């Protein structure tokens, strides 16, 4: 086992905590960056709730928007899991609010890793960098597909993840000096919530369970369990053939939104009685699109499927995800257990 620590950026996030716990279970020494050391106790509490040893984690301060702290963060590190990146519940007013932290932050981490002699960085990208802004390929999306960041209806988040990943690959090719890069591109990340600071996917479920969406649009969402996403990060970090590769993290075909709501109602019974049973007419989504960024994004995606394949990750790394239903229901039940769904 590698004696050098592994650095995880964004360790207090949903995927970041899962990666920390997976690394500890794998026997790795773990160092975690947070923007504010005041969150150290919260981080350690979440690690403990997830079954890890809170005292086994070293915590350092570093911000994606500032050079300060990164040299110290990567000092003596063998690998970096660069997980940190903003994922808003609502679209920001200005695209730069997401694009600058994602793109410039990735380059800041890669530059520091290269200068410190880190062997490999595994960057958390997204399906957002794969499946938007272009005509549907007529097949499941794969790692060979790329989003067109200037395509019609592409949101700020989708642009930020695409530009950040493109910038990372360009940097490693031109200035990497031997630094290895792999990316993990998850679809909607579900699975059990540990704390009450919810990711966008968990917030979607909370809204469905709480009656926040009386109707849903005619669209799809794909699912993968956060524990499997973390496992794929560790495999991409360890496997010698993973360098220079992208890996989609997805479990099965995409859910129709109404299909997702039906699954919640069928499996959670009374706790999901507020889940929607109707689909918003397409004309209503389009009518509201000029007045709402969210509806504008929905209108662009009406009727489109976002099925994707994990064949590459399974073939190269032996990665086998949980069923999509298990990932979603684990999320929903954890939200109930945490008291985040009204009785």
Residues with active-site annotation = 161
Distance between CA 335 and CA 327 in Å, rounded? 13
The strand pairing partners of 220, in sequence order, are 256
Please, are residues 153 and 131 in contact by the beta-carbon 8 Å criterion?
A: no
Please, are residues 15 and 83 in contact by the beta-carbon 8 Å criterion?
A: yes
Q: For the chain, state the CA radius of gyration.
A: 19
Please, are residues 189 and 128 in contact by the beta-carbon 8 Å criterion?
A: no
Distance between CA 286 and CA 155 in Å, rounded? 16
Q: Is residue 198 helix, strand or coil?
A: coil
207-239 exposure pattern, b = at least 16 Cβ within 10 A, e = fewer: bbbeeebeebbbbbbbbbbbbbbbbbbbbbbeb
Give helix 257-268 / helix 324-337 axis angle, nearest 10°.
60
Q: Give backbone dihedrals phi and psi of 204, rounded to 5 degrees, phi first.
A: -60, -50
Give the chain's end-to-end CA distance (angstroms, integer): 47
Q: What is the dihedral of CA 71, 173, 10, 325, to 10 degrees?
A: -160
- Beta-carbon neighbour count of residue 96 at 10 Å? 11
What DSSP character marks residue 132? S
Give kind and range of the element (H or E) at residue 334. helix 324-337
Give me the helices (H) in 243-319, please: 257-268, 282-288, 293-301, 311-317
């Amino acid at each position: 086992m590698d004696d050098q620590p592994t650095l995880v950026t964004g360790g207090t996030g949903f995927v970041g905590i899962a990666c920390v716990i997976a690394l500890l279970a794998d026997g790795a020494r773990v160092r975690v960056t947070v923007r504010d050391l005041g969150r150290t106790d919260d981080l350690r509490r979440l690690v403990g709730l997830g079954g890890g040893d809170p005292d086994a984690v070293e915590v350092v301060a570093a911000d994606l928007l500032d050079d300060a702290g990164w040299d110290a963060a990567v000092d003596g590190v063998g690998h970096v899991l660069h997980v940190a990146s903003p994922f808003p519940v609502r679209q920001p007013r200005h695209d730069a609010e997401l694009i600058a932290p994602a793109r410039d932050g990735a380059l800041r981490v890669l530059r520091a890793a290269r200068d410190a002699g880190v062997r490999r960085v595994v960057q958390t990208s997204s399906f957002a960098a794969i499946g938007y802004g272009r005509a549907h390929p007529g097949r499941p999306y794969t790692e060979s597909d790329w989003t067109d960041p200037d395509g019609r209806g592409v949101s700020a988040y989708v642009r930020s993840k695409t530009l950040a990943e493109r910038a990372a690959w360009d940097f490693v090719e031109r200035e990497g000096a031997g630094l290895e890069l792999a990316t993990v591109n998850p679809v909607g990340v579900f699975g059990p919530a540990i704390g009450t600071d919810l990711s966008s996917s968990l917030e979607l479920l909370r809204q469905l369970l709480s009656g926040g969406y009386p109707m849903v649009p005619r669209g799809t969402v794909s699912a993968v369990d956060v524990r499997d996403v973390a496992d794929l990060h560790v495999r991409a970090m360890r496997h010698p053939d993973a360098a220079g590769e992208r890996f989609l993290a997805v479990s099965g075909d995409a859910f129709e939104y109404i299909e997702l709501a039906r699954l919640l109602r069928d499996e959670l019974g009374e706790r999901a009685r507020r889940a929607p049973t109707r689909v918003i007419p397409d004309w209503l989504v389009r009518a509201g699109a000029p007045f709402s960024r969210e509806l504008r994004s929905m209108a662009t995606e009406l009727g489109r499927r976002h099925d994707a394949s994990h064949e590459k990750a399974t073939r190269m790394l032996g990665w086998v995800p949980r069923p999509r239903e298990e990932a979603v229901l684990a999320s929903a039940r954890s939200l109930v257990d945490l008291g985040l769904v009204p009785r």
